[in-house]
Amino acid sequence: MTRFLFCLCILFVWSCGEKDSNTSSVFFAGEIVNPTTNKVVLYKGDTPLDTAFLDMSNRFVMKLDSVSAGLHHFQHHPEEQYVYLEKGDSIQLRLNTINFDESLVFSGTGEAINNFMVEMFLAAEKEEQEIYDLYELEPETFAAKMDSLREMKLSSLEAINAEEDLTEEAFKMANAGIVYGSYIFMEAYPFYHRRKTGEKTMHNLPDNFYSYRNIIDFNDEDLTYLRPYYNFMKYHLGNLSYMECKSDCGDRHMSAGRRLHLNRHKLRLIDSLVQQRELRDNLYRNVAMDYLLKRDTEENLSQFMADFKKLSANNRHMAEINRLYEGIKRMQPNMSLPELVLYSAEEKPVALSELSNGKKTVFYFWSGSEMGHFRNINKRIGKLSVQYPDHNFIGINLRTDMARWQSLLETFGLDKSKQYWADDFDRVTHTLIIADPNKSIVAQDGIILDAFANVYRSF
């Protein structure tokens, strides 16, 4: 009954989906099926604007007095997705956390642009594999394929625009999502082409292959948090730094310190290309995260941090980067495993360090919301357990409701003595430095042997 009444209220508020141009206030509301936390947080960039708690029927409502029009994102921990908001909007979403992005639907004013952005997001995820197969093509053919894919999307944006009359800003955002998303593949092409064809050197590219580089904009603040734009910047910098090193430094740096060397190129390139403060800080942060999260010597790590601080001392993410660096220093070989409490299938608390007593122990990680990954890693661990009978393999579950975790253990017939559950996702991922889903930690008797192992590559 209460649910019915609530629906009526919603209908009343969003009566005909017309934008109310007399008000600058914004309604943002929705329903979360299978919530993973009790709240929804709305962000502009990395600034939280408002938090709304779910009610008894898992609905939330936010009313903001005013917003600066543009791209926002909402977070229902640990997932997040865009929402594009303009003054006077009243928009409602519905999603199911079991299929977060796929189930997300917007209604109300702004539904056209928002549903289009989700559609493009999902299309991009899907086409990644298809495009991966195209990397073997010669550059001219590959570029022509990318052109036609992009044109197809742009014309579907034109069609939506003709029907819904998007604002200029909304159109620009969707347009940028399409074009930058497509340029990512152009930046990646030479590397994947070499890998797929097995060619010894980088393939020569026609003069106009990168012609779009003349029109890319490093300083458009509206695009800073648009994923395709940001990802494009990452690939672009990766491409430029590799090519720069190849032409300036030759083969001098092909040895052990190569990763540090290449990342120094990247840091300098950001410094020379990007002036817009937020994008610059975010890209610097990305280089730092990317570099720090892979194994390197303590000496190289500290050299990197010194360089980083020289170029980006006032980085808005400095505290986070320092914390990661300190965390990594605590996860070096011969250090003790950090103090963390996990739970057994019988819901008993157990210290992480106790789980590695006796045998060499390999900790790996999985989540009930990534079922594809869960199946793959299970298969892999099954194989490794046969290959390494003297090792103990222990699964740590993250980001899953405890009851659901327990039922997954039953359904998949997992050995309960080798499965543990973590409740504090942030704390566990920060302490154990988990960024790669296939990361594993090898330890024995509470002492770290290798905290940066990988279940596929390290065994």
Is 243 one of the binding residues for Zn ion (CB under 5 A)?
A: no
Q: What is the DSSP letter of 1?
A: -
Stretch that binds Zn ion, among 11-19, 216-224, 240-248, 343-351 (CB under 5 A): 240-248
Stretch that binds Zn ion, among 117-125, 142-150, 193-201, 248-256 (CB under 5 A): 248-256
**Cβ-based nearer residue to Zn ion, 249 or 254:** 249
**Cβ-based nearer residue to Zn ion, 253 or 277:** 253
Is 249 one of the binding residues for Zn ion (CB under 5 A)?
A: yes
List residues bridging with 39 in a β-sheet: 53
437 vs 207: CA distance, rounded Å:
39
In contact, 75 and 82? CB cutoff 8 Å:
no
**Cβ-based nearer residue to Zn ion, 174 or 245:** 245
Is 254 one of the binding residues for Zn ion (CB under 5 A)?
A: no
Smallest gap, in angstroms, from Cβ of residue 250 to Zn ion? 8
**Cβ-based nearer residue to Zn ion, 245 or 441:** 245
Smallest gap, in angstroms, from Cβ of residue 273 to Zn ion? 17
In contact, 391 and 362? CB cutoff 8 Å:
yes
Stretch that binds Zn ion, among 241-249, 342-350, 365-373, 413-421 (CB under 5 A): 241-249
Smallest gap, in angstroms, from Cβ of residue 249 to Zn ion? 3
- Per-residue string for binding with Zn ion, 411-430, x by CB under 5 A? --------------------
Is 328 one of the binding residues for Zn ion (CB under 5 A)?
A: no
**Cβ-based nearer residue to Zn ion, 21 or 201:** 201
Smallest gap, in angstroms, from Cβ of residue 236 to Zn ion? 17
Q: Residue 78, preceding bond cis, omega within 30 degrees?
A: yes
Is 245 one of the binding residues for Zn ion (CB under 5 A)?
A: yes
Q: Which of 176, 83, 177 shows the shortest CA–CA distance to 124? A: 177
Tally of residues, the chain? 459
**Cβ-based nearer residue to Zn ion, 26 or 269:** 269
Stretch that binds Zn ion, among 116-124, 249-257, 288-296, 358-366 (CB under 5 A): 249-257
Smallest gap, in angstroms, from Cβ of residue 259 to Zn ion? 12
In contact, 106 and 114? CB cutoff 8 Å:
yes
> 């197969």: which residue's tokens?
133
**Cβ-based nearer residue to Zn ion, 237 or 245:** 245
Q: Which of 251, 246, 250, 245 shows the shortest CA–CA distance to 264? A: 245
- Angle at the Cα of 242 from the Cα atoms of 239 and 244, rounded to 5 degrees: 105
- Angle at the Cα of 231 from the Cα atoms of 33 and 193, rounded to 5 degrees: 115
Smallest gap, in angstroms, from Cβ of residue 203 to Zn ion? 21
Smallest gap, in angstroms, from Cβ of residue 248 to Zn ion? 6
Could you give the 3-state DSSP secondary structure of residue 396?
strand
Q: What is the rounded end-to-end Cα distance, in angstroms, of the chain?
A: 57
Close Cβ partners of 179 (under 8 Å, ≥ 6 residues apart): 150, 154, 212
Alpha carbons within 13 angstroms on the beta-carbon side of residue 73 total 19
Smallest gap, in angstroms, from Cβ of residue 118 to Zn ion? 40
Q: Is the dihedral of CA 319, 323, 329, 332 positive or negative?
A: negative
Which positions lie near Zn ion, rule CB under 5 A? Answer: 245, 249
